[in-house]
Amino acid sequence: MAEVVGGVASSHIPAVGVAIDRGRKAEPYWAPYFAKLPPMQEWVRELVPDAAVVVYNDHASAFSLQLIPTFAIGTAVEFPIADEGFGRRPVPAVQGHPELAWHLAESLILDEFDITIVNEMEVDHGLTVPMSLMFAEPAEWPCPVVPLCVNVVQYPPPTGNRCFNLGKAIRRAIDSYPGAERVLVVGTGGMSHQLQGERAGLVNEAWDHRFLDLLVGEPEQAAAIGHVEYLREAGSEGIELVMWLVMRGALDAEVREVYRATHVPTSNTHNGVLVLENSGGGPFP
């Protein structure tokens, strides 16, 4: 049977993709950040996942204000790279895993999650930047991907608790999949940042580190954080951290923290990565 073999959480800051694509990683501004990534990349490389479920949010590339699904799953064979206004990132197209995606869709819907099924869509930096951070710059991505898109753009987004429970449902779905795939679950977005208004540029390192501590050791408390606290403490875009809760819900109730790193500033945001392994104690009830 298929199994969840670990989880990664990562910010998906578009400027990071630009730095990679334009060969700027060694520049003084970027070098300290990229120096923090090799432990995560080595762990992923040694893990050799057969598939990845990547939880991310679309930035008006596949969807718009005309159509905003709360949760959407991509079931296509391939997902082209979106042009977000400055050309398509020069990275490989993302190969899908239709069999696993359709199994997830069926299981999640029968588990009473209303999932939008998307048979054709482009993917943007929300998905491709974390892929670049995990897998560097390969000629082809090393494993197929099931994209799972979460609305964190138009209020009301789903609660952290709803996302945490979605992760649990994803775990149940993967555990019931008849294949032998070793699946990596990736949560993207965050950390604290605000892109507009009087608080543009907000970073709250203390709150972010508290969130990480809760996510690892007390995930139910992290899941209970409400929208108002995200807005007040982590900025308008800090709500993206609910997608890290999807990843956490898909793992065992107890996990081992493999690696954690954060960096400030990255394009006026708090940028973070987190790597977790299952403890072997079993999933959440």
In a domain, 108, yes or no: yes
Is residue 270 part of the annotated active site? The answer reads no
In 10 A of CB 234, how many CB atoms?
Answer: 25
**DSSP H stretches of helix in the chain:** 14-21, 31-34, 38-47, 98-110, 125-135, 160-175, 205-217, 219-223, 227-234, 242-249
| Residue 233, domain member (yes or no) | no
The DSSP annotation for 172-212 comes to HHHHT-SS--EEEEEEE--SS---SSTTTT---HHHHHHHH
- The active-site residue, picked from 12, 97, 103, 125, is 125
3-state secondary structure of 98: helix
Residues 5-36 have pLDDT tens digits of 999 999 999 999 999 999 999 999 999 999 99
From the candidates 12, 103, 193, 263, which is the catalytic residue?
193
The answer to whether residue 227 is domain-embedded is no
Cβ-based neighbour number of residue 217 at 10 Å: 12
Domain count of the chain?
1
Q: What is the pLDDT of residue 1?
A: 87
**The two three-digit tokens of residue 39, written as one number:** 């432990």
* pLDDT tens sequence across 169-210: 999 999 999 999 999 999 999 999 999 999 999 999 999 999
Residue 232 lies in a domain: no
Per the domain annotation, does 196 fall within a domain? no
In a domain, 205, yes or no: no
Please give the residue range of the domain that contains residue 75.
3-190+246-263
Domain-located, residue 46? yes
Residue listed under structure tokens 């598939």: 51
Length of the chain equals 285
Q: Is 0.95 topped by the overall pTM?
A: yes
pLDDT score, position 86: 85
**pLDDT of res. 106:** 98
28: CATH = 3.40.830.10
